């Protein structure tokens, strides 16, 4: 990545890029996966700067005297500032308000959303703790790049403390329709919090339009400029833009072509796609927004409607446990297990079962080998800001023989137009699309995959971060050179 940052850069996220964990043999350093870390860690290593995040690792205090951890430890390039939270703060800020309130509401799952004034008070106090840390550590005129629904009121709190800094905030999940959004009791406070930023980024144009509508409907005297996506606010002009996050396709291509990953992919096909069988995959956290149960019900419909596919199609689902402290996620995991068992009992034979489940995360080489080996991938989110699994699958398909079946309600569907589109709420239509994928001629597979791979090559993870920081530097009165 080649990009000139003309002012000091401070990244602010809920989760930290590196977690230090105690083990029997010492301290283990774990780099967290995800697009934000993949894009911004190399940039900070190149340009220097600061990263502020919640320090959640069991050895975090030990490796960060004074709350500052050099990255990397032996040859420091930037500083990771850890914020330590009490169990009460984690429960109120993260578990309750963010993940039991804002998360389901933003994904249009109204009946799951739970809000309380107590949780809101903790949420705001933790955001203030982040803001104070950023204010202390930011150099004069710094660029601050903060992230997501956990830190929605950070921008305005930081602006009150440090009006000299320029702030970009990226909202990674969907922004809901106003009729849904205003069900949050603190919707006005959240909007005011976000409007402390100079640049607000969302995944899709639909999210931008929904946010502008929320501002118009909440603050009727504010003359929102919809044609230019700008909001005049307290003497400033806020830029509101769609910046679709992506993946590093060149890095994935290099990885899947390595001898090790090529052997892994060949082994997966020998095990699960021998004798002409077709291999389908899905990879998700055990989250109710990912549509895992409706997907399994569509597979049940598929084997019912197309009995000749029994014994021909193997489906491997990777379901990674997540947020086990939230009861809804524990219940979902049990539902997944029960539904999978029912399908296998109904359709399985002595030498074949339709659905195999891996109940843990895969390391990156194994995950990319699985994507390269698969004949099709199912991404059937009920709602999704983007869904990088879809883009990773396409990036790993260097043999160009896989088919992506993609929910029309995932943000990625607005870019990957050559995927087969499904509604996660339509099991019969989903099953018919699955049959279309299984029977698709090789030349059509290649054409569709080439179209999607070209789109990702033209809009990479680094294009995403460069677009946001370029916009922020322009707003700050500076320029960037690639």
Q: How many helices and strands, by DSSP H and E, does the chain display? A: 18, 17
Q: Closest Cα to residue 375, out of 272, 283, 450?
A: 272
Collect all residues with Cβ–Cβ distance below 8 Å to 243 and sequence separation of at least 6.
Answer: 170, 201, 202, 203, 464, 467, 468
Are the C-beta atoms of 323 and 283 separated by less than 8 Å? Answer: no
CATH code, domain with 452: 3.40.50.2000
Domain count, the chain: 2
Residue 151 is classified by DSSP as: G
Is there a single domain that holds both residue 187 and residue 265? no
Q: What is the pLDDT of residues 287-308, one digit of tens each?
A: 889 999 999 999 999 999 999 9
Is there a single domain that holds both residue 199 and residue 306? no
Are the C-beta atoms of 131 and 161 separated by less than 8 Å? Answer: yes
Q: What is the pLDDT of residue 481?
A: 41
Q: What is the pLDDT of residues 26-69, one digit of tens each?
A: 999 988 888 899 999 999 999 999 999 999 999 999 999 899 99
Q: What is the pLDDT of residue 2?
A: 61
Residue 170: phi and psi, rounded to 5, are: -110, 125
In a domain, 1, yes or no: no
Are the C-beta atoms of 194 and 155 separated by less than 8 Å? Answer: yes
Is there a single domain that holds both residue 15 and residue 121? yes
Are the C-beta atoms of 148 and 172 separated by less than 8 Å? Answer: yes
Q: What is the pLDDT of residue 478?
A: 43
In a domain, 481, yes or no: no
Query: Mean of the pLDDT values across residues 263-272?
Result: 97
Is there a single domain that holds both residue 211 and residue 321? no
Q: Closest Cα to residue 474, out of 199, 155, 208?
A: 199
Tokens of 86: 């009490």
Whether residue 229 is preceded by a cis peptide bond, meaning omega within 30 degrees of 0, is no
Q: For the whole model, what pTM was predicted?
A: 0.94
Q: Is the pLDDT of residue 323 over 70?
A: no
Q: What is the pLDDT of residues 356-405, one digit of tens each?
A: 999 888 999 999 999 999 999 999 999 999 999 999 999 999 999 999 99
Is there a single domain that holds both residue 91 and residue 186? yes
Residue 424 is classified by DSSP as: T
In a domain, 444, yes or no: yes
Is there a single domain that holds both residue 264 and residue 279? yes
Q: Could you tell me which residues are beta bridge partners of residue 233?
A: 236
Is there a single domain that holds both residue 120 and residue 241? yes
Give the relative orientation of helices 364-373 and 249-256 as an angle to the nearest 10 degrees.
Answer: 80
Full domain range(s) for residue 144: 9-245+462-475
């Amino acid at each position: 990545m080649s990009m000139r940052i003309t002012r000091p850069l401070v990244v602010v996220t809920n989760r930290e890029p590196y977690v230090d964990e105690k083990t029997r043999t010492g301290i283990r350093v774990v780099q967290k996966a995800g697009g934000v870390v993949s894009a911004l860690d190399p940039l900070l290593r190149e340009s220097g700067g600061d990263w502020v995040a919640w320090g959640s690792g069991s050895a975090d205090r030990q490796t960060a005297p004074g709350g500052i951890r050099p990255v990397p430890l032996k040859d420091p390039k930037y500083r990771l500032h850890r914020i330590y939270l009490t169990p009460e703060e984690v429960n109120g800020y993260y578990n309750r308000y963010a993940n039991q309130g804002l998360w389901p509401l933003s994904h249009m799952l109204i009946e799951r959303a739970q809000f309380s004034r107590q949780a809101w008070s903790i949420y705001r106090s933790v955001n203030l703790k982040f803001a104070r840390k950023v204010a202390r550590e930011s150099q004069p005129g710094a660029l601050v790049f903060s992230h997501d629904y956990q830190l929605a009121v950070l921008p305005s709190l930081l602006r009150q403390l440090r009006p000299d800094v320029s702030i970009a905030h990226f909202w990674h999940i969907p922004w809901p329709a106003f009729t849904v959004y205003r069900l949050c009791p603190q919707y006005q406070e959240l909007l005011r919090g976000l409007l402390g930023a100079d640049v607000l980024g969302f995944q899709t144009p639909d999210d931008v339009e929904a946010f502008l509508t929320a501002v118009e409907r909440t603050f009727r005297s504010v003359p929102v400029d919809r044609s230019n996506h700008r909001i005049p606010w307290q003497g400033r002009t806020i830029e509101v833009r769609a910046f679709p996050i992506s993946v590093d396709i060149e890095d994935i291509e290099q990885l899947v072509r390595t001898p090790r990953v090529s052997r892994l992919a060949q082994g997966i096909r020998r095990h699960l796609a021998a004798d002409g069988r077709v291999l389908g995959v899905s990879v998700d956290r055990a989250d109710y927004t990912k549509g895992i149960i409706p997907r399994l019900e569509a597979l049940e419909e598929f084997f019912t409607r197309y009995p000749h596919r029994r014994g021909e199609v193997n489906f491997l689902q990777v379901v990674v446990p997540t947020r086990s402290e939230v009861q809804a996620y524990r219940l979902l995991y049990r539902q997944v297990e029960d539904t999978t068992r029912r399908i296998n009992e109904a359709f399985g034979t002595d030498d074949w079962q339709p659905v195999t489940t891996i109940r843990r995360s895969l390391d990156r080489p194994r995950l990319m080998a699985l994507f390269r080996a698969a004949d099709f991938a199912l991404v059937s989110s009920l709602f999704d800001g983007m869904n990088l699994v879809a883009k990773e699958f396409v990036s790993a398909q260097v043999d160009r023989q896989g088919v992506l079946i993609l929910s029309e309600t995932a943000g990625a569907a607005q870019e990957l137009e050559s995927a087969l589109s499904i509604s996660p709420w339509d099991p019969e239509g989903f099953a018919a699309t699955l049959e279309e994928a299984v029977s698709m001629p090789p030349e059509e597979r290649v054409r569709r995959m080439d179209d999607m791979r070209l789109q990702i090559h033209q809009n990479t993870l680094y294009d995403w971060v460069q677009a946001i920081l370029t916009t922020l530097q322009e707003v700050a009165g500076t320029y960037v050179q690639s």
